[in-house]
């Protein structure tokens, strides 16, 4: 059972999300090369070396995809803009074709009565900026401010909401410490700098958009519930460290102008000089916070250098990603974020969904159940007094799941990657029915 529109407060918005590199196709329309293209071209990084050259070919199938959105009865559509499509060299002269594409996308949404919720950066850093150190280079804050001017100068007048950067943890930690996302580094100093610069760039983009007179600006963070593997003090400490790095570092920076001690324990020596002075920019007031939530992790102590934690397999049912299905974490995070960081500020669930190895005609039961359980968790948070204002399902359609290539299917719409045919799944029809408006 998926709770329907009537079971949520008046004005609560429903939507679905995608991101540029995962769906558009980057081999055309004048887009420049990104660090995901080179990461994917390096053997061993991505399953079958899959890349985003064509992806879902959304660039050429825009109208069809917008119709799918309209059929889903969404209020908002969360999409992202590719920096390299707008500025192929990362800086300098904009690619008119790229700007025109986002213009058509925004107008196509408005014509269908759908609110455009833009994320400026969802991971496809232009190659020429990666050459200059990418997120490790402090100058990225200025480069990102330039990109913000370029894209929002074109579409900002018709945007409903904007967030600068999707998931600072993934951009910095996954890409520079774990090394399983572009740029594929495994270096603590690069990580610390990227973690800080990503927040600085966020702050600069907010400044730019405020100067442009834009409103409804927020930030989108991903979080994973961190559960200790045992009652041993070492396991408890490891889980708290994981929580500090993953969940508290970015919200702490954005909302409180501070980083948690347990994260600084390993990162402080590697942060850029004068990092504390940047909090004036980083804490630029926001209108909302978005939470991307998928799962929890069971965390144990691990020997060796900081951060001394390791993931352990958990007992709960898992998705195609191997991620445990843990809806309580969504409820508990919403309550915790409001209590510890955001108070009365509106919260949105900006991503939530599951990968499932499904085929057209398959009942898609697991995904429907996942949405039902997580929407119920949102209801519980609202009942506990948390100002949750919207829920956005990941994702509109099967797409490029980064290092997993095209194998992991998160879509409400099935995509056949041989012929790019789209077929709505049962979860699409179920949500469309739940989100149907009475008027």
Which sequence positions are flagged as catalytic? Answer: 167, 351
Asked whether position 224 contacts ligand GCO by CB under 6 A, the answer is no
166 binds ligand GCO (CB under 6 A): yes
177 or 394: whose CB is closer to ligand GCO? 394
Q: Long-range contacts of range 39-45, CB-CB < 8 Å, 24 or more positions apart?
A: 39/181, 39/182, 39/183, 39/184, 40/182, 42/184, 45/180, 45/184, 45/403
Q: Which residue is nearest to ligand GCO (CB)?
A: 292
Q: How far is the CB of 351 from ligand GCO (least distance, A)?
A: 5
Residue among 222, 225, 242 nearest 234 (CA)? 242
Burial class (CB in 10 A: 0-12, 13-18, 19+), 265: middle
Give least dist CB 394 to ligand GCO, A: 5
Subset of residues 366 to 395 that bind ligand GCO, contact rule: CB under 6 A: 394
Interatomic CA distance for residues 267 and 191, integer angstroms: 8
> Segment 334-363, which members bind ligand GCO (CB under 6 A)?
351
Task: Tell which one of 95, 292, 295, 319 touches ligand GCO (CB under 6 A).
Answer: 292
Q: Where are the beta strands (DSSP E) in 156-312?
A: 161-165, 218-228, 288-301, 309-312
Q: How many CB atoms lie under 10 A from the CB of residue 144?
A: 28
Segment 398 to 417, residues that bind ligand GCO, using CB under 6 A = 401, 410
Conformation bin of residue 107: beta by default, left when phi > 0, alpha when psi is -120 to 50: alpha
Which residues have C-beta within 8 Å of that of residue 126, sequence separation ≥ 6?
32, 33, 34, 35, 83, 84, 87, 88, 89, 90
Cα separations in angstroms, 418 against 54, 55, 321, 406, 409: 11, 11, 22, 11, 15
Q: How far is the CB of 437 from ligand GCO (least distance, A)?
A: 27
Show the site string, 233-272: x = touches ligand GCO by CB under 6 A, - = not.
Answer: ----------------------------------------
Can residue 172 be called a binding residue for ligand GCO (CB under 6 A)? no
Q: Is 57 in the site for ligand GCO (CB under 6 A)?
A: no
Q: Is 222 in the site for ligand GCO (CB under 6 A)?
A: yes
Stretch that binds ligand GCO, among 58-66, 166-174, 208-216, 309-317 (CB under 6 A): 166-174
* Residue with Cβ nearer ligand GCO (178 or 261): 178
User: Can you give the binding site for ligand GCO, defined by CB under 6 A?
Assistant: 19, 22, 166-167, 170, 222, 292, 351, 394, 401, 410
């Amino acid at each position: 059972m998926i709770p329907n529109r009537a079971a949520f407060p008046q004005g609560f918005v429903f939507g679905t999300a995608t991101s540029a590199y995962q769906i558009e196709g980057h081999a055309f329309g004048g887009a420049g090369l990104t660090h995901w293209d080179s990461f994917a071209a390096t053997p061993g990084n991505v399953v079958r070396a899959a890349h985003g050259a064509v992806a879902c070919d959304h660039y050429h199938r825009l109208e069809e995809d917008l119709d799918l959105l309209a059929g889903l009865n969404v209020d908002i559509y969360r999409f992202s803009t590719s920096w390299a499509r707008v500025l192929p060299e990362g800086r300098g002269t904009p690619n008119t074709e790229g700007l025109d594409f986002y213009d058509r996308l925004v107008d196509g949404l408005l014509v269908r009565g759908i609110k455009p919720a833009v994320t400026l950066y969802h991971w496809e850093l232009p190659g020429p900026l990666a050459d200059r150190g990418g997120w490790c280079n402090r100058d990225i804050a200025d480069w990102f401010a330039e990109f913000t001017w370029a894209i929002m100068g074109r579409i900002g007048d018709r945007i409903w909401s904007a967030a600068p950067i999707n998931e600072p943890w993934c951009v910095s930690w996954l890409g520079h410490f774990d090394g399983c996302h572009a740029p594929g580094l495994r270096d603590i100093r690069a990580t610390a700098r990227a973690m800080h610069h990503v927040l600085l760039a966020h702050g600069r983009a907010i400044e730019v958009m405020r100067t442009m007179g834009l409103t409804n600006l927020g930030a989108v963070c991903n979080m994973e519930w961190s559960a200790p593997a045992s009652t041993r003090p070492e396991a408890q400490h490891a889980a708290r460290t994981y929580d500090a790095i993953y969940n508290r570092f970015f919200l702490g920076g954005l909302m409180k102008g501070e980083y948690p001690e347990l994260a600084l324990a390993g990162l402080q020596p590697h942060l850029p000089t004068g990092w504390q002075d940047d909090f004036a920019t980083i804490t630029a007031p926001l209108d909302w916070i978005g939470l991307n939530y998928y799962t929890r992790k069971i965390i144990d102590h691990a020997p060796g250098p900081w951060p001394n934690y390791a993931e352990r397999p958990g007992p709960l049912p898992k998705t195609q990603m191997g991620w445990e299905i843990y809806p309580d974490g969504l409820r508990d995070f919403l309550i915790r974020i409001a209590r510890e960081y955001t108070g009365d500020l509106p919260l949105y669930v900006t991503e939530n969904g599951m990968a499932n190895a499904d085929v057209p005609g398959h009942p898609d039961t697991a995904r429907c159940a996942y949405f039902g359980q997580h929407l119920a968790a949102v209801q519980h948070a609202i009942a506990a007094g948390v100002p949750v204002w919207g829920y956005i399902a990941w994702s509109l359609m099967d797409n490029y799941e980064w290092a997993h290539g095209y194998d992991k299917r998160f879509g409400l719409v099935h995509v056949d990657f041989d012929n790019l045919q789209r077929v709505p799944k049962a979860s699409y029809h179920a949500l469309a029915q739940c989100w149907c408006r009475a008027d």
